Structures are given as C-alpha cells and as structure tokens.
Chains A and B, each alone.
Chain A
Amino acid sequence: MSLKDLTKPWTAFNYGFLDESAKRELRRKMLKAIAIPGYQVPYASREVPMARGWGTGGLQVTLTLLKPDAVVKVIDQGADDSVNAVSIRKFFNRVGGSAETEDTSQATIIQSRHRVPEEKLRADQVLVLQVPNPEPLRPVQPDMSIAREMHGDADYGQLWLVLYEQLVKSGRIMQGTEYPSLVNGRYVITPSPIPRWDVKKLHQAEHLTFLSAGREKRIYAIPPFTNVEPLVFDDVPYRVEDHQDKTCYRTDVTGFFMNELPQEDGSSLYELSDSNFGIKHLKNSQGETLTIGETWYKNGRMD
C-alpha cells in the first residue's frame, strides 16, 4: 500500500463541491433536525466559496441535497433575479449540474433568503431558508451556552416579556420579521427574517423546511405537517403585514406580500414581492397560459 493508493485522482472539486465526509455529517444533522422539529442542531459548517452571511448555511444544505436531476430555484427577497440569488444558482449548476428554474412549481429544491413563495409548496419540494441568526433568545441572552440551557428548559418567559414590552411601549407588537414561533409545541425558533406574512405558511405545511445558519453553524427543520405557532397573547391576535388590500401596479393582483416602491411625488407604488408569481401573472395577462399554483393566501387572507 502506498499513499497514492489511499487517495483518488485529483479533481478540482467533488460533486456538489463538499467532500463526502462533509455531506455525510450534514445528512446526519439534517435527519436529527427533522427528528426534533425546531431544535437547533450544531454542525461543522464548512467554508464554501462564498462569504459567510451570503447564504452559506442554505448553500451547504442544498449542496447536500443536490442530485443531477434536481431542479433548483434560488430567491433573495422574493426575487429570482437578485444578484446574489443569480450567483448562488449559477454555483449549483457549476458544481452539481442541476437544472435551474425560476418557476416555483417546477423546483424540487427552493433556496430562499427572507421569503416563502406565494404558491403552496408540495410534499415533493424542499424549502431551504438561509438564516443569519438562528437563536430566538439572542436579544435576551447573547451567551449561546446559557441560551442552549434555556431551550433545554423551554424557558421562554423572556421572549413573552419582549413582546409584552413592545405592547406597553408602542401599543402594538413591533416585531417585524424573525417572529418567534413555537414548533411542535416544544422549541421556539426564529423563522429567519421572513415577514410575518410568511410564518403562517410554515404551519402544517405539506413540504419540508430546513433553516440553516452557516456562520452560526446551526441547522433546524420544520417537517411536513408540524405545528408552527407564533407566540401571541390570547387577547392580542397575530397580525401579518397590512398588505392584504395592496395592489401590484404591474399585474393588478391584490392580496399578496408587496415591495413598496417610493415615488418622486411622495406616494408609493406596490409590486408583488414574489417575482416569479408576478411574472406568471404578467405573462398570462399578455396572452400566455401559464399554470399558477394554488396560493396559501386567498383574497389577502389565510385561515
């Protein structure tokens, strides 16, 4: 036996960039995350050829799930054409030979930063959310070791206190994105910076969601048909953003999460935040017949 026998011929990188031992570790951690919904599983989090904070957590999960017949959609802030989403999608194609799509219904893996698509995801689709900060307790307990103990004890009193303080100070719950939510009645998670509008889509969903924080080295999951309940007081209902009556100026579609576009005259226009959803509506209005999947929200409401 020689050293040469122990190694394989040199290649620039393995299929899916990560080496097999890295993928094996991640698969084990992903299975654990599914087995304990909402529990933050620490993982090694390898360096990837992108800077930390630019989707490296989501990237590692998608790279591990990648197969040559995978169809990958990548969105950033709801848009497929955002420069970083383009860059990540190109990378998957480069190292995995996977097909790229912008159509939500065509994708087998959807990696997203800050949005869940408006069309309902199916059981055969996996949503991978990029997470900057996986720790819902960070605002009240920056020390990770103590926060881990608090999760162990389901000690979430201080999170309720934060919401209560917002109520007392502002008369409203001021939490924008990252709304703390109880998963499967056990672990409180931060659902990554998706708007409150999208948190409801994770509850009892048909699809599997992975949330992966590369920089912070934590992965957690929401398996299909799992309860995801935003923390609310009995007498103060959960409120999503007031976008139900906003109309997209490009498509005339009403009742979905919008981007606000400030105008020079001081007013604002609105456009659908989910760019592929918008494009499909736009093309259909121009005579095409694209199938638009069932949406979570109907008439601006989701019950």
Chain B
Amino acid sequence: MAYVATRGGEHAIEQAERLFRSDLGKISAARVSEIKTSLPYLVDRVMGEASLYEPDLAALALAQAGGELSEAVLLLRAYRTTQPRIGYAKTIEQADLFTVRRISAAFKDIPGGQILGPTLDYSHRLLRVEVLTGEDYVPEPVIASETPAPAEQPSLTAWQKAQGLIADHATDDVAPENIPDLTREPLLFPAPRAHKLQSLARAETGGVLALGYSTMRGYGDIHPTVNELRLAEAPVRLRHPNGTVFNAGRVRVSQAEIITKSAKLELGFSATFGWNEVKVISAATLDRASAQDAPHAASTEEFVLYHTEPVESSGFCIHFKLPHYVTFQSSLDAIRRVKADNVENGKAPEPVNEKEPAL
C-alpha cells in the first residue's frame, strides 16, 4: 500500500490536456488564417483584453483555446509579458486617426460629419438559415459615396472646448518612458489616470458592460450621451535610432467619449485595441462614474478596475476547482470542537437540517 503514485497525477493531467486538444483537432496555419479573416471582431476583442495588438497571434490563441475567451486572453497576456520593450510610439491626436466610423449622439450633425462606417446598428437581426442548406449568403455590394468622407476627422471635443462648453484640462508633458505603465507596475489607489485608462482598455468586455450598465440603469448618477464614438486605424509612429520618425503600421482602435449632463458637462473617455463599441461606451461611462462620490459598486474606482480584470477574475474563479481539503479540515476542526463543547455543557445542538421554504 502506497500513496497515490506520483506518476499517476502527472499521467492524468497530461491525458486530460490531450483529450481537450484532440477534440479540437489539428491546428494549421489555414485554420488560424480562417479565424483571423472570418471573426475579426472576436480577434479584436481578444487583442483588446490581452492588450497585445497582433491579429495572427490572437487568432492562434483562439484556435489553441478552441474559442474559450479567457484562455485565449491568458495565452496572449503570458506571451506579451515576456516581450522586450524596444521603443515608445509617438503620441497621436484624434485628428491623426484614419477614421472609418465616427458618430455623435450629442448633435444632429458635427464638423466633419456623421460617418456611419461599417455597422449592424440598423440591421434586422435575422438568421440566414438558408446558408445551412447550401445556399451561400453573398453580401450585397456597397455603393460608394459620391463624396468620400475624409480619412481624418477633427475631434468634437476640440470644438466644445473652443466654445467653452467643456473644461480644457492642462496636460502634463511626460516623457514616454515615464508614462505610468500598468503592465510593469502594480495598480494602487487612487489610480493615476494613465493606469485607469489602461486598466479599462484591457478590461473584460462583459465585465465593463455589466458594471457600466448598472450605472446607466440607475445605480449611480450618470446619464451618458455618446459625445463621439470612433472606429479607426491609428498610425504607430516610431522614432528610428537614427532620428527619423517613421510609420511602423496601423492598429485598429475604438474610442468613446461620453458626456454627462449634470451641472456642467463632464467627459468620460475610453479607448482600446480593436473595434469593440460596447466595451468603449461602457468603459467611458465607468471612467466618469467611478470618479463620483456615490455609494454604488460602479462608482468606486477600485471596485471597477479590480473586478473587470479578465485574467485575474477568470483565474480566481476557476481556481476553486483546486483541492481545498486542508482549509476544509481546519474549519471542520473548529466546528466539531463547538459541538463537543455543547454536549459537554448540556446545550442542545444547533439543528443541522433547517427546513427550506419550498418556493
């Protein structure tokens, strides 16, 4: 008779992993490429939560995880954290963005125009079931506009600031390497603004939606108006060691400004990698809400930022699957001791089976 064979545990976990992977089958470059091209919004979501912009790697992570989102994000985060930092991109302004969609709910029309861009907002959400019986769905061609919208659009807040409607806060002139970096420093409270926006940028989409929705619905004093929502491609400008600033490529970004209509107009802001409108609208609302003095969960910066962290929250949730028998044993000991005390003192034991109401 011996303790559980050590190799037993090792064998078990290896086979369990093999089972998961064999269910998914072969992962080829073609499968990864198919994921990247057919599910760009999913790839965007994963890149945003991982805070790593690399569509091929994100598609690979999705393929390896079989679409399990928290696993895919963890794969990318664990890869990202080991990468050396070889440079800092130049700051870009909103007007530098190659903008494909830009709308405002605050005005009927805005300087630069309302640009709908690609959206399902006004579509009828009907399944094309005929596809399943072999009838391909081929999207109808887009009719090009007679006057194409300019690729670069001004910022609406620039106009509002010029009008004196919104406070024009001074910005600190910080060297890029001195900008607080959440991926290299712990999050402490009150959080620097950079940490807060970075934390929201890499937050879990469902998490920010749930908390953001709670403030929109009434747990809080925020009645957001979408001041400006943008989907764009942002140029990544780097300085070459020889001094030249060059364009290293473009990344898809979304950003939202929400505006509150209390005593004065206040902005909430959020931006993230990839096109993910629900996330940036919710996160911009939370940016504003969590600066409030209200007794609600979503009005507390710490509550919002800690509980929307995708890797931490999902990891802790699934860790409860690990054995906890030592902790349980320790509590059992205390409970038994109290029972023994009660017997010793002739006290009636507390009922173990309490009747639960049927409904």
Interface: B171 (CB within 8 A)? no
Q: How many residues of B contact A (CB 8 A)?
A: 60
Q: Which residues of B contact A17 (CB under 8 A)?
A: 82
Give the interface size class of chain A: 35 or more
Selected interface stretch from B152-160, B183-191, B253-261, B286-294: B183-191
Q: Are A13 and B82 in contact (CB under 8 A)?
A: yes
Partner of B315, one of A25, A54, A115: A54
Q: Are A54 and B2 in contact (CB under 8 A)?
A: no
Smallest Cβ-Cβ distance to B329: which chain A residue: A260
Interface: B225 (CB within 8 A)? no
Q: Complex: how many Å from CA A185 to CA B242? A: 56
> Most chain-B Cβ atoms within 10 A of its Cβ — which of A22, A78, A143, A176?
A176
> Most chain-B Cβ atoms within 10 A of its Cβ — which of A14, A43, A81, A113?
A81
Q: Are A114 and B327 in contact (CB under 8 A)?
A: yes
> Most chain-A Cβ atoms within 10 A of its Cβ — which of B5, B183, B326?
B326
Q: Which residues of B contact A282 (CB under 8 A)?
A: 1-3
Write the nearest CB–CB distance from B79 to chain A, whole angstroms: 9
Interface: A6 (CB within 8 A)? yes
Partner of A1, one of B82, B241, B327, B334: B241
> Which parts of B179-223 form the interface with A (CB within 8 Å)?
183-190
Q: Complex: how many Å from CA A5 to CA B87? A: 13
> Interface digits, A232-260 against B, CB 8 Å rule (1 contact, 0 not)?
00000000011100000010000001111
Q: Complex: how many Å from CA A153 to CA B313? A: 30
> Interface digits, B283-323 against A, CB 8 Å rule (1 contact, 0 not)?
00000000000000000101000000001101111110011
Write the nearest CB–CB distance from B220 to chain A, whole angstroms: 18
Selected interface stretch from A103-111, A121-129, A155-163, A273-281: A273-281
Interface: B78 (CB within 8 A)? yes
Q: Are A172 and B241 in contact (CB under 8 A)?
A: no
> Which parts of A34-48 form the interface with B (CB within 8 Å)?
42-48
Q: Given known contacts A42-B188, A51-B319, A176-B331, is B3 in contact with A250 (CB within 8 Å)?
A: yes
Write the nearest CB–CB distance from B10 to chain A, whole angstroms: 5
Write the nearest CB–CB distance from B148 to chain A, whole angstroms: 35
Q: Are A196 and B314 in contact (CB under 8 A)?
A: no
Interface: B122 (CB within 8 A)? no
Smallest Cβ-Cβ distance to B185: which chain A residue: A44
Interface: A168 (CB within 8 A)? no
Q: Which residues of B contact A226 (CB under 8 A)?
A: none
> Most chain-A Cβ atoms within 10 A of its Cβ — which of B2, B5, B325?
B325
> Most chain-A Cβ atoms within 10 A of its Cβ — which of B5, B186, B330?
B330
Interface: B101 (CB within 8 A)? no
Smallest Cβ-Cβ distance to A2: which chain B residue: B241
Partner of B77, one of A47, A171, A173, A176: A47
Q: Given known contacts A6-B86, A53-B315, is B10 in contact with A86 (CB within 8 Å)?
A: yes
Q: Complex: how many Å from CA A132 to CA B319? A: 10
Q: Complex: how many Å from CA A79 to CA B81? A: 31
Partner of A174, one of B184, B241, B315, B334: B334
Interface residues of A (CB under 8 A from B): 1-3, 5-8, 13-14, 17-19, 21-22, 25, 42-49, 51-54, 56, 76-87, 90, 102, 113-115, 132, 143-145, 170-177, 193-197, 215, 217, 241-243, 250, 257-260, 273, 275, 278-279, 282
Q: Give 10 nearest A-B pairs by CB, closest first.
A: A52-B315, A53-B319, A176-B331, A42-B186, A176-B330, A51-B315, A47-B77, A53-B316, A241-B333, A46-B81
Interface residues of B (CB under 8 A from A): 1-6, 8-10, 12-13, 74-75, 77-78, 80-84, 86-87, 183-190, 240-242, 300, 302, 311-312, 314-319, 322-327, 329-338, 341
